[in-house]
Amino acid sequence: MRPSALFLLPVLVVAHDLHYNLHARQAPPSASLPSTSAASAAPTGSGSPTLSPPPTVPVTLQSTNPTAVPLSQITANETSQPTIALQSTFAAGSIPTGIPGAPPLPNAAALVPANYPPLDKTPPTDSPQVQQWIQQVASTGISIPNISVTTGAAACSANPAAAADTSRCWWTCGGCTRPSDITTCPDKLTWGLTYDDGPGFYTPNLLQYLDSQNLKTTFFVIGSRALGAPFTLQTEYMSGHQIGVHTWSHPPLTTMTNEQIIAELGWTKQVIKDITGLTPNTFRPPYGDIDDRVRAIALAMGLTPIIWTRLSPVATFDTGDFNINGGTISSSQVIVNFENIIANATTINTGFIVLEHDLFEQTVQLATGYILPEALAHNPAFSLKPVINCLNKPLSDAYVETNNNSTNPPPGGVSKSFPLFFRQRTNRLTCIYRLCGCDTLIGCFWLQPSHWIGGGEVRWNVDGWPPFGHDVYRVGHWHGRFNRWYCYRAVLRDLSLVICIPPY
């Protein structure tokens, strides 16, 4: 093989346009959801009566479930139906099929709630566990940008300077994404199905319907809900659905300090692992509220962000179903939103990801009675699957312990199967030569002018995490800044010399 210098490089990041005229469906958290606490509250089965009910709109559907609750009865103040039992539960020690290498299912009955933080509040950051996670994040060497915390409910209008600062890539205000964010499925007409905020009291109804149609989904789980409904979470997991992290108490994360973000994500990873035996490697930021600071922390914690598809300020793939319970949207309007989403979805060349919830009775009634039957009747046919599968990866790649680190490099983390090199700040010359193929490198390095001794051919194939900047490398020709850390995740092709870093 002809050795060639392969230097793996940060991808060029183009700042996205900011759009300030937000449509209601893509409104900032304070407007799109009633309140942070409502978003994470346990379902009561009936919302507060509304004085002026939200307007209903005409809907046309190809298909509905014969047992659907009439739309006119899916309201904030509806009389709730009795909950149903889980169709299947799994004994401690059961081994899931479809996840090679998964450990036996833990005994959920042995969970001790007192070992976890209080429900629905951001966990304290001075506990030994959180302090340990803070240390682990620091030890990755990933630099967390010094971006100021947003205020209130992270609304753009309340944070004009932050909203105008394109360098922080704040999704909430303009929909900016980085290559590490997953917002679509690659294949046209493929729908990465997701349900957030559970497990809820009516999640068993959704599971029953999904089973009846042989569908699998991704559940973005609230840690506080998981602790309250561990058997429901076990059934989701054992039934082959993907489990992702959705924080402990559902705050807009850009309003949190670094330590609070670590606590929110860390405890949710922990409780999911304690209940299922495996640790998710994906998360969804509540309200989609993510910027480069939140991204860096999440990636340092091994979590890849998954948001929902956004084509423009007026075409964001959020059904709005969450707000039925709060009385600010009618169920018929949610159906119309959904019809717009699928109409938009058929016009794009990729698949898509839609935001729905399994927290409330109303959202489950809509999903099982209308949205999923309608999606299944769609012509041309949609392919509905968990996000991990829509990315053409096996379910085992959704969890840290079973992930194939060669083919699905963990974000920000470093696979043990690779030699670590400039990830550590060494004081000796570090030269890395790798021969062959299709390995993956993930790491961080500090670059100063005297390090740049490369030459030859540079190729890059960066499929993930760029540096926190807009720099591009070329051999012998450096356009970026020196004297800073760079982190990357990249796939090594063909092989060879990577880089030499002299002592510093």
Instruction: State the binding string over 96-115 for ligand NAG (x if CB under 6 A, else -).
Output: -----x--------------
Among 5, 134, 158, 314, binds ligand NAG (CB under 6 A): 314
- Residue 479 known to be catalytic: no
Secondary-structure percent of the chain, ordered helix, strand, coil, rounded to 5: 30, 15, 55
Q: Which of 357, 358, 451, 471 is catalytic?
A: 357
**Under rule CB under 6 A, residue 26 binds ligand NAG:** no
| C-alpha span between 314 and 311 (Å, rounded) | 8
Q: Which of 181, 196, 197, 291 is catalytic?
A: 196
**Under rule CB under 6 A, residue 56 binds ligand NAG:** no
Among 406, 432, 462, 484, binds ligand NAG (CB under 6 A): 406
Which of 134/400 has CB closer to ligand NAG? Answer: 400
Q: Which residues contact 204 (CB under 8 A, 6 or more apart)?
A: 83, 84, 85, 86, 87, 232, 235
Alpha carbon 225 to its chain's center:
17
Residue 351 structure tokens: 């698949």
Q: How far is the CB of 229 from ligand NAG (least distance, A)?
A: 26
Dihedral class, residue 195 (left if φ above 0, else alpha if ψ from -120 to 50, else beta): beta
Among 21, 60, 347, 379, binds ligand NAG (CB under 6 A): 347
Residue with tokens 């509304």: 50
Tell me the angle at which helices 203-212 and 230-238 cross, rounded to the nearest 10 degrees.
Answer: 20
Tell me the angle at which helices 258-276 and 128-139 cross, rounded to the nearest 10 degrees.
Answer: 110
Query: Residue 231 corresponds to which amino acid?
Result: F
Which of 437/456 has CB closer to ligand NAG? Answer: 437
Among 4, 35, 44, 50, binds ligand NAG (CB under 6 A): 50
Which of 139/212 has CB closer to ligand NAG? Answer: 139
Q: How far is the CB of 257 from ligand NAG (least distance, A)?
A: 12
| C-alpha span between 201 and 234 (Å, rounded) | 14
Per the CB < 8 A criterion, the answer to whether 284 and 303 are in contact is no
| C-alpha span between 314 and 337 (Å, rounded) | 11
- The residue count for binding ligand NAG (CB under 6 A) is 25
Cα distances from 439 to residues 97, 178, 350, 491, in angstroms, run: 28, 23, 27, 6
Among 71, 290, 315, 444, binds ligand NAG (CB under 6 A): 315
Which of 214/347 has CB closer to ligand NAG? Answer: 347
Stretch that binds ligand NAG, among 83-91, 151-159, 338-346, 455-463 (CB under 6 A): 338-346
Please identify the residue of the shown chain whose CB is closest to the bound ligand NAG: 343
Q: Scanning residues 409 to 448, which ones bind ligand NAG (CB under 6 A)? A: 415-416
Stretch that binds ligand NAG, among 28-36, 156-164, 377-385, 396-404 (CB under 6 A): 396-404
Instruction: State the binding string over 59-98 for ligand NAG (x if CB under 6 A, else -).
Output: ----------------x-xxx-------------------
Residue 280 β-bridge partners: 399
Give the burial class of 241: count Cβ atoms within 10 A of its Cβ; 0-12 exposed, 13-18 middle, 19 or more buried: buried
Per the CB < 8 A criterion, the answer to whether 359 and 322 are in contact is yes
| C-alpha span between 343 and 63 (Å, rounded) | 16
Which of 50/450 has CB closer to ligand NAG? Answer: 50
* Phi, psi at 434, each rounded to 5°: -130, 135
Among 57, 84, 343, 435, binds ligand NAG (CB under 6 A): 343
Which of 197/397 has CB closer to ligand NAG? Answer: 397
Cα distances from 22 to residues 10, 26, 35, 254, 416, in angstroms, run: 31, 6, 18, 18, 44
- Residue 196 known to be catalytic: yes
Which of 79/214 has CB closer to ligand NAG? Answer: 79
Stretch that binds ligand NAG, among 47-55, 157-165, 256-264, 385-393 (CB under 6 A): 47-55
| C-alpha span between 380 and 57 (Å, rounded) | 26
Q: Which residues contact 192 (CB under 8 A, 6 or more apart)?
A: 184, 185, 218, 306, 351, 352, 353, 354, 385, 386, 387, 390, 391
Which of 273/452 has CB closer to ligand NAG? Answer: 273
Q: Scanning residues 136 to 175, which ones bind ligand NAG (CB under 6 A)? A: 146
Which of 64/406 has CB closer to ligand NAG? Answer: 406
Among 56, 157, 344, 350, binds ligand NAG (CB under 6 A): 344
**Under rule CB under 6 A, residue 186 binds ligand NAG:** no
Interface with ligand NAG (CB under 6 A) = 49-50, 53, 75, 77-79, 101, 146, 314-315, 340, 343-344, 347, 400-407, 415-416
| Residues carrying an active site annotation | 196, 357
